[in-house]
Structure 1
Amino acid sequence: MKQIINYIKKYKIKSVLLFIGLVFYVFCLPKKLFNTPTSTVIESTEGELLGALIADDGQWRFPANDSVPEKFKHCIIQFEDAHFYQHFGFNPISIFKALKANINEGKVVRGGSTITQQVIRLSRNGKGRTYLEKVKELVLATRLEFRNSKEEILNYYASNAPFGGNVVGLDVAAWRYFGVQPHQLSWAESATLAVLPNAPSLIYPGKNQKKLRVKRNRLLNKLFEEQVIDELTYQLAVQEQLPQKPYRLPQIAPHLLQEIAKNKKGQRIKTSIEYQLQKSVNRIVNQHYEIQKQNEVHNMAVLVLDVNNRKVLSYIGNTQTTKTHQKDVNIINAPRSTGSTLKPLLYMAMLDKGELLPNRLVADIPTTIADYVPKNFNLQYAGAVPAKKALARSLNIPAVRMLQQYGLSRFHDELTQFNFKHINKGVDHYGLSLILGGAESSLWDLCSTYGALASEVNNYTNTSSEYHEAYLTPWSYEDDYKLELGRLSTEKNSFDAGSIYLAFEAMKEVNRPEGDESWKFYDSAKEIAWKTGTSFGNRDAWAVGVTPNYVVGVWVGNADGEGRPELTGVSSAAPVLFDVFNVLPTSNWFEKPYDELSEAEVCSKSGYLASSLCEVSKEWIPTVGKRSKSCPYHQLIHTDLEGQFRVNASCESLDRMIATSWFSLPPIMEWYYKRYNSNYKSLPRLRFDCKGEQAITMDFIFPKPNSKIVLPKNEEGKVNEVVFKIAHSKPDTKVYWYLDDAFIQTTQTFHEIGIIPSKGEHVVTVVDDYGNEVKRNVTIEL
């Protein structure tokens, strides 16, 4: 140390220059050796290539891999730098031989660069190949040897060497020329690629095949002589064919690739996509696309989620259609009309608040709310239907009436908790049509919501009846995603697990597509909670299915919004849904969350909590549902001994009366209900000699209160009649019709008339033989 200090004092200038040179040497090598843009690459969870985007400079250049395959490593070392592991960045003997040969020939005929020097040259792209540049490369090569290991230097070379055309790097070359991953290359294929960076022009299809074969076989022979490969391997290798035509890079998840490239451009991303499942779903989509395009339906999207780890297993953003039909649009993230897909959430919400029970009857009758007139898809009415059947049959009118009962603002606020990004307008914008497709959502948001609800039931039963506070944790398509659901709490988040479970039970009863109607009779059948949706004008067809392990979502339609007459959720999207479920492993059904449910006695006919007048059955309901009201449709009546008439103390002695519990619906509900329920019996009429008020036995079906009616015209321009209709609990009763106190007509059995009122306001009055009277105000417009 003392000698060094003395030397510095004695030779100050030399010491300073030496120090400056040393500092320059230390910092002469850029921290990041390569700054060239790279392709965006996505791989499956197994490491299979799903797709790639070309780099910004027009080159196929993948981000550097972690290692170099052993076969290619042997090949490149034997071909380019046999003493790679012995030298320290440069090989003096090779440099001397190259210099001598070049001087003798008067031109550059031989290079003496090591692999390390070639890495430096590649990193200094565009620099001239002069002797001064060679000196710089030599200095930088020694610095690179100080900083990086031999394996890292090899990896630099393999990732950045040119392989002909716009192919850069071993990863791309393996795919482009042999259609495999680098570690799958044979000895002959590895040797072919090893000789290309030295002469990349040899790879052009149909040209230079003889030269390329000679170079490859010479390398294979050297590998044999160096005992890297045995004689049999050598003999088989030299017989292999050379690449003839470049392979297209896989494009198995192109829309996911585009989505990832938005935020992670130029990176290699290992996704959570399962390779074989993705290929199977692609095949299913292609098969159904061939069917759908016969109906001029060109676009489709499918999303498969893993409920337990919140990862995406399959991502199909669109069909392989044409640019004319928007094949590049990623439908998974596109806002589309929700159709009926939000109905289960309303059902859950009402169960959760104790405002509905699974089998409680809900009205399914002609309905007008303000100017809104919802219709069922089949344009029919059931009068009254159990709530879970209304959900399973996707009836529109019960859903609208339930939403009105529950509260539009209240439901809208709950939807915002689920992060529906596109439901971002006020309640006045949507109105009651919110539940029938008046709002828009994406396939991603719908599937994420149903997946979170499935996860809520799973976690509740797995954690001894507790909820995770962060149950709406986002879903991911990255393989290294770590799920964090937050702390456990006894407080529910949105809906309790019991309400969600009962909704899934109802959704399980939806009639399956043609050919799968008898699924219940097969032991191997998969239990799936699922819901379809069809938007107004047949523009969007949806199907979303849920099991304890998976969520599958399907959208079918045209990206430009064109509707097609036969495009429905049941006929178009549901078959795709079940084909996808058929390639997924079978899941057990959800475990029942007993701590959020209670077994209660309910009225077997009305589904309300049982009163003393009901025939009782037992069913599981949300615990909060035990506070709901008892059945309003059962009443105690007294009939004569024959049971033909109602009687009371004014006309009959007590010993000649029979007390009977009677199930009776309001008139309009009854009128439609008994058409589908032959065992329904209307309330007996009060015997003529008895005193007391008659029950209301009739009501208008059409028109609705304060209706504005535009009289239709026929092809000749003449005004057609408007048909007025009432429901009567005793259809054979005579009914007398009046318009503004002027008698019009008498009807019996079929209570409807056609009239042409004058323009303006009118009052329609109907009176029956028992003196019952109903009125309706209407406004006629021509």
Structure 2
Amino acid sequence: MLNFLKQHRLLLSGVLILFCGWFYQSLPDKLFNAPYSSTILSEEGRLMGAHIASDEQWRFPPVNDVPEKFAASLVAFEDKRFYQHIGVDPLAIARAVNLNLQQGRVVSGASTLSMQVIRLSQQNPPRTLWNKLKEALKAIRLETKYSKTDILKLYASHAPFGGNVVGLEAAAWRYFGRAADQLSWAESAMLAVLPNSPGLIHVSRSRAKLKAKRDRLLRTLMEQNILSSLDYSLALVEPLPVKPEPLPRLAPHLLDTLTQQQQQQQQQQQQQQILATASQFNTNIKYSTQRAAIQIAKHHGESLALRGVNNLAMLVIDNKTFKVISYVGNTPRDDAKQFGHAIDLITRPRSTGSTLKPFLFANMIQQGEILPETLVADTPVRYSGYRPKNFNRDFHGAVVARSALASSLNIPAVNMLSYHGVERFLDTLRQMGLKHLHRNARDYGLPLILGGAEASLWELTSLYANLAFIAQQNQSSKWRYYQQPSLLNIGSTTTKLINKLTPPAAWMTLQSLLEVTRPGNAGYWKRFNSTHKIAWKTGTSFGHRDAWAIGTTPQYTVGVWIGNASGEGRPGVTGVTLAAPMMFDMFNRLNLDGSWFDKPITQMKSINICKDDGFLATDSCEPEEYFIPQTTHFERISPNHQRIHVVEENGELLRVHSGCEVVRNMRAINWFVLPPDQAFYYKQLNANYQALPNWRSDCVEDLPLANGTDQNPISLIYPRDNTQVYIPKDLANERSKVVFKAVHQTPSARLFWHLDNTFLGITEDIHQQAIWVNAGKHTVTLADEKGRQVSQNFDVLSE
């Protein structure tokens, strides 16, 4: 034998080298290539949902840790010398050979857990002697490559547990409805014996055999002093699972979205030859908050369905951390095949309604164009054929800007955007992260502020959360950026976008949103009284297709969208009636601490404004101190105050001038006076508004001499100057008349109407004229008895 070895030592050395090479290369870099289920976990690590793997197996991503109870049960049942052998157990092999010879057939295989991992990775090849030998050698190689803990993880992640359930975590959820680390000793023992005979798990058969194997394992654990006698007795009486438990469905739409995004990333990675990871999504969502949100969504979804409204979505953001703590992508339904219930509507763009108004308001404050107390016009208006209307079709004449925002008045918002500029505002919205604004400013026009744009619930809720975030910042640089909410718990991935707003501008906007109301629905809004302060805004798109409600506090922002995924409108679909109740229900389930935004007084400066109209104070108004952002340059002087000279005769104030009265007899007073068209509506809602005193009769004759500083008392409400007028045809296919409307500061005044130098007639008290007008450019002129007049040009569009 020695001579044989000497003579063939080169050959033997070569064989040994080949064997060592084979042994080293016997295991692939990735032991298992099976597809995994997609799972989504809460911030606490709790399962919220899963998708079955592409091979129709419930195979969750590999476990990070093997629970102690399962590990102890598994080792006691499958491989009691697991921590002592090197992958092959010689004592077990000897015992198995002796037992098989005695029985005359194979009754024991002596496989270790390491050998079983190898067998699982090779998808259970035929049990031949040659395969068994390779399996043993690869098990030894496995022990040199992986630790004992890692080998247990591999086994627990890929062992079969009956039916199409693979892996410990999937089995724990399918059979017991909770995570593997929450299982009892009896449950852990049952799962430990199951891979050995996975067919035993059945609702109606083999249950006695399964229970017997489990109980024997429990006794073994007690005999090994792993399980106390009391725990053993309690474990024996625990029943087996009756049937598989349904997996949680707390975030199905989010799971769909994340899976789709990952698949797109994997396709890109494959092109770059980058390996993809298992589909386990660790989110920032709070489990209890998500459960509450799903319950609220189900409740509202059921009542909405009765009204023909089939879809909704809701998002909750933590304003401190910008983590998304709740995500409801659509109406929760078991059957998601109808009415677009399978669509994740949080990411879908919809008409914004009035939800962008606060950001125009905030930016105009920052730019020094308005203050919350500034009066803005609310009268009938037309811009190049576009005629905005308020929700309730009423006019206020003039309204405080913060009240216009809180009441969601459309005409003041359009007037404000016209002053600010569509292109500037559109650029600001894009900088704030609205990604669906693909048209230019001319195409959007002034309707941009009333729902002419599109944005997703994700984008809009992010904007409001940023408003709250900015309002809470001190002199640090954080307020200079917009924050992007984070869904996944993968560290800081926030994209920072440059921000133009300062904390004072954001705070002033939120203060105005505390007063949100809608005219005509005051009684309904009382339902939303709360002990907690919430700044909130609703929105409704044209045709009642979209209903929005977004609210924010220092802690949280809640955004709600309601409508039909198909875009079909329904009567009564408004933000106040449908979306707001759902939003407040969600706020009621959040742990609000009752705090509110502190006034950033250190970042503000003091100015004096007119108490009546909120413009910069002059000598002609009563001033009051007001705080504005330090970086703001508000220079709009009040246009609504005049200094007039009066005398009192018979208890009546009469206006006079130096041409008709001695100066020493005149008294100079300040008077708040609005333009005639604004005053016409304003005085109907404000009983304390007083028109200018009449001129004394002997002063009227010389009035034009003193009228250089006097306001024109005539105002043409329709048509406005340089507007386009479209005249429809009636049922007889004839062009209709155009109804012109004007107001005079003096209600009893007479107006003389002219069209293109053609006299039309005289009106008293109610100044309206119905006129046939041909297509083309025209000029309308009005004059009163004192010779004061106004002329405006307009263009009648042809068919």
When normalised by structure 1's length, the TM-score is 0.92
1:387 and 1:91, CA in 2 relative to 1: closer, same or farther beyond 3 A?
Answer: same
Aligned ranges for residues 588-627 of structure 1 at < 5 Å? 588-625=595-632, 627=634
- Comparing 334-343 and 254-263, the one that deviates more: 254-263
- Choose the corresponding residue for 2:786, options 766, 770, 774: 770
> Following the alignment from structure 1 to structure 2, what is the Cα–Cα distance between the partners of residues 340 and 233?
63
- Choose the corresponding residue for 1:466, options 468, 471, 476: 476
Q: 1:542, 1:573 within 8 Å by CA — same for their partners in 2?
A: yes
Aligned to 1:316: 328
1:454 and 1:485, CA in 2 relative to 1: closer, same or farther beyond 3 A?
Answer: farther
Q: 1:468, 1:486 within 8 Å by CA — same for their partners in 2?
A: no
Residue 565 (structure 2) pairs with residue 559 (structure 1): yes
Q: 2:466, 2:482 within 8 Å by CA — same for their partners in 1?
A: yes
Q: What's the offset of the Cα at 1:702?
A: 2.4
Q: What's the offset of the Cα at 1:645?
A: 2.6
1:89 and 1:53, CA in 2 relative to 1: closer, same or farther beyond 3 A?
Answer: same
Q: What's the offset of the Cα at 1:104?
A: 6.0
1:99 and 1:216, CA in 2 relative to 1: closer, same or farther beyond 3 A?
Answer: same
1:634 aligned partner, one-letter code: H
- Choose the corresponding residue for 2:304, options 278, 285, 292: 292
Aligned to 2:684: 675
Q: 1:357, 1:625 within 8 Å by CA — same for their partners in 2?
A: no
Q: What's the offset of the Cα at 1:316?
A: 0.8
Residue 448 (structure 2) pairs with residue 448 (structure 1): no
2:660 aligned partner, one-letter code: C
Q: What's the offset of the Cα at 1:485?
A: 8.8
Q: 1:703, 1:778 within 8 Å by CA — same for their partners in 2?
A: no
Aligned to 1:728: 744
SS in 1 for 2:572: coil
1:625 and 1:687, CA in 2 relative to 1: closer, same or farther beyond 3 A?
Answer: farther
- Comparing 174-183 and 494-503, the one that deviates more: 494-503
> Following the alignment from structure 1 to structure 2, what is the Cα–Cα distance between the partners of residues 280 and 688?
73
> Following the alignment from structure 2 to structure 1, what is the Cα–Cα distance between the partners of residues 91 and 599?
79
> Following the alignment from structure 1 to structure 2, what is the Cα–Cα distance between the partners of residues 432 and 314?
34
Q: What's the offset of the Cα at 1:455?
A: 2.2
Aligned to 2:659: 650
1:759 and 1:401, CA in 2 relative to 1: closer, same or farther beyond 3 A?
Answer: closer
Q: What's the offset of the Cα at 1:44?
A: 1.0
Q: What's the offset of the Cα at 1:256?
A: 1.6
- Choose the corresponding residue for 1:28, options 26, 29, 35: 26
> Following the alignment from structure 1 to structure 2, what is the Cα–Cα distance between the partners of residues 473 and 702?
45
2:491 aligned partner, one-letter code: Y
Q: What's the offset of the Cα at 1:718?
A: 7.9
Aligned to 2:107: 109
- Choose the corresponding residue for 1:641, options 648, 665, 678: 648
Residue 192 (structure 2) pairs with residue 194 (structure 1): yes
Aligned to 2:353: 339
SS in 2 for 1:332: coil
Aligned to 2:714: 698
1:14 and 1:261, CA in 2 relative to 1: closer, same or farther beyond 3 A?
Answer: same
Q: What's the offset of the Cα at 1:469?
A: 7.8
Aligned to 2:270: none
Q: What's the offset of the Cα at 1:111?
A: 2.3
Aligned to 2:694: 685
CA-to-partner distance for each residue in 1:192-243, whole Å, 9 max, x for gaps?
2112111111112222222222222222232233333233333332222221
CA-to-partner distance for each residue in 1:721-754, whole Å, 9 max, x for gaps?
5433211212222334456666655433222344
Q: 1:358, 1:621 within 8 Å by CA — same for their partners in 2?
A: no
Aligned to 1:68: 66
Unaligned runs of 5+ in 2: 264-277
SS in 2 for 1:125: coil
Identity of aligned residues (%): 43
> Following the alignment from structure 2 to structure 1, what is the Cα–Cα distance between the partners of residues 495 and 162?
49
> Following the alignment from structure 1 to structure 2, what is the Cα–Cα distance between the partners of residues 514 and 385?
17
Q: 1:29, 1:140 within 8 Å by CA — same for their partners in 2?
A: yes
2:786 aligned partner, one-letter code: Y
Aligned residues: 765
SS in 2 for 1:259: helix
- Comparing 303-312 and 87-96, the one that deviates more: 87-96
Q: What's the offset of the Cα at 1:634?
A: 0.6
Aligned to 2:430: 416
Q: 2:382, 2:719 within 8 Å by CA — same for their partners in 1?
A: no
Q: What's the offset of the Cα at 1:304?
A: 0.9
Aligned to 1:304: 316
Q: What's the offset of the Cα at 1:575?
A: 1.4
Aligned to 1:4: none
Aligned to 2:178: 180
1:649 aligned partner, one-letter code: S
CA-to-partner distance for each residue in 1:681-735, whole Å, 9 max, x for gaps?
1122333322122542122222334542424536x87876543321121222233
SS in 1 for 2:315: strand
1:455 aligned partner, one-letter code: F
Aligned to 2:132: 134
Q: 2:482, 2:496 within 8 Å by CA — same for their partners in 1?
A: no
- Choose the corresponding residue for 2:507, options 492, 501, 505: 501
SS in 2 for 1:404: helix
Q: What's the offset of the Cα at 1:383?
A: 0.9
Q: What's the offset of the Cα at 1:484?
A: 6.8
- Choose the corresponding residue for 1:378, options 368, 392, 397: 392
Residue 494 (structure 2) pairs with residue 477 (structure 1): no
2:363 aligned partner, one-letter code: A
SS in 2 for 1:113: coil
Aligned to 1:425: 439
CA-to-partner distance for each residue in 1:747-769, whole Å, 9 max, x for gaps?
33222344556777765554433
Q: What's the offset of the Cα at 1:625?
A: 4.3
> Following the alignment from structure 2 to structure 1, what is the Cα–Cα distance between the partners of residues 728 and 350?
35
SS in 2 for 1:137: helix
SS in 2 for 1:644: strand
When normalised by structure 2's length, the TM-score is 0.90
1:699 and 1:9, CA in 2 relative to 1: closer, same or farther beyond 3 A?
Answer: farther
- Choose the corresponding residue for 2:281, options 269, 273, 298: 269
1:261 and 1:8, CA in 2 relative to 1: closer, same or farther beyond 3 A?
Answer: farther
Q: 1:277, 1:314 within 8 Å by CA — same for their partners in 2?
A: yes
1:318 and 1:519, CA in 2 relative to 1: closer, same or farther beyond 3 A?
Answer: closer
1:220 and 1:516, CA in 2 relative to 1: closer, same or farther beyond 3 A?
Answer: farther
> Following the alignment from structure 2 to structure 1, what is the Cα–Cα distance between the partners of residues 191 and 535?
52
SS in 1 for 2:648: coil
